[in-house]
Amino acid sequence: MSANKVYLLDGGTLVIDGYHAFWNRGPGGELRFPCYAVLIDHPDGLYIFDTGYDHAHVERVLPFEKPLQTETQTIPGQLKIVGLKPADINYVINSHYHFDHCGGNIHLTEASTLCHAKELEACGCPQPFEVLGYSDLSFSPEMQQQRGSEVLNALPLDIYTPKFETLGGDQEIAKGLWLFETPGHTAGHYSLMVELKNRRPMLFTADACYSKKNMDLMCISSFHLDPVASLNSMQRLKDLAEKYDAELFYSHDPASYPDYQLAPNFYS
Ligand SMILES: [Zn+2]
């Protein structure tokens, strides 16, 4: 049995410069974009793909991204509007560990955490230009301890003990729930495809492609470990969408977002 329902959990917005969103292209200027998490109601359990950002963390460490997030746009707030609580979630999948994709993990204390093995490794030993991206380590007190003095958001180490399950390669982690390797933005980046009964599969690019405009221009964002791999991953997403007749859902797309159905509405 494939997934029953997919909910998009709105997580508020952030700001970056247009030259970051469209690398070496722009135009420059403030670009406010949405962040969201994906909740999948599957016969094998409740999955969340990415968990958005933690408002207090962004205010403290990256205030120039001007976070706008209400209580309702937090993970507990979004789960509440669909009649769930954080302890109900069985699995968290993180596309990658940038702060705007793992900030809500800390609420999901009963869940097992799935990620690419290379991503966990990269987050533990980031390149100098990745330190702000990998600045929210609340998802792993152990990682926080390992990174030591440079950690920007030290939390009590006993706050949370996540269970990690690391993966490699493309994986069907549950019936109709596919993780596809899309590295470049980060070392171990995964995109997710969800098959549903009554509609085309949903292919969540995560940060392998911020927006439809990035895809149309084949223009990557400036936040990347490897620009050539990023571009190849964008092409891979295009090819996967065609192969599976899947609909692409972009991670930070102010133009497409108003057309997405947000929780409590759902896709089935
Ligand atoms: Zn992101």
* 127-186 tens-digit pLDDT: 999 999 999 999 998 888 888 766 666 666 666 778 899 999 999 999 999 999 999 999
* For residues 65-77, average pLDDT: 98
User: Domains plus CATH for the chain?
Assistant: 5-259 (3.60.15.10)
Distance 100 CA to ligand 1 centre (A): 5
Distance 101 CA to ligand 1 centre (A): 6
Distance 1 CA to ligand 1 centre (A): 30
pLDDT range class, residue 204, cuts 50, 70, 90: very high
Distance 53 CA to ligand 1 centre (A): 9
- At residue 218, what is the residue type? M
The active-site residue, picked from 10, 100, 136, 207, is 100
* Residue 189 three-state SS: coil
Query: What residues have a C-beta under 5 A from ligand 1, the ion?
Result: 100, 207
Does 199 have pLDDT greater than 90?
yes
78 in Cβ contact with 27 (< 8 Å): no
Does 13 have pLDDT greater than 70?
yes
Does 230 have pLDDT greater than 90?
yes
Which residues does 36 contact at the CB level (< 8 Å), separation at least 6? Answer: 8, 9, 10, 11, 50, 52, 251, 257, 260, 262
Distance 99 CA to ligand 1 centre (A): 8
Does 38 have pLDDT greater than 90?
yes
Is 239 a residue of the active site? no
Distance 153 CA to ligand 1 centre (A): 18
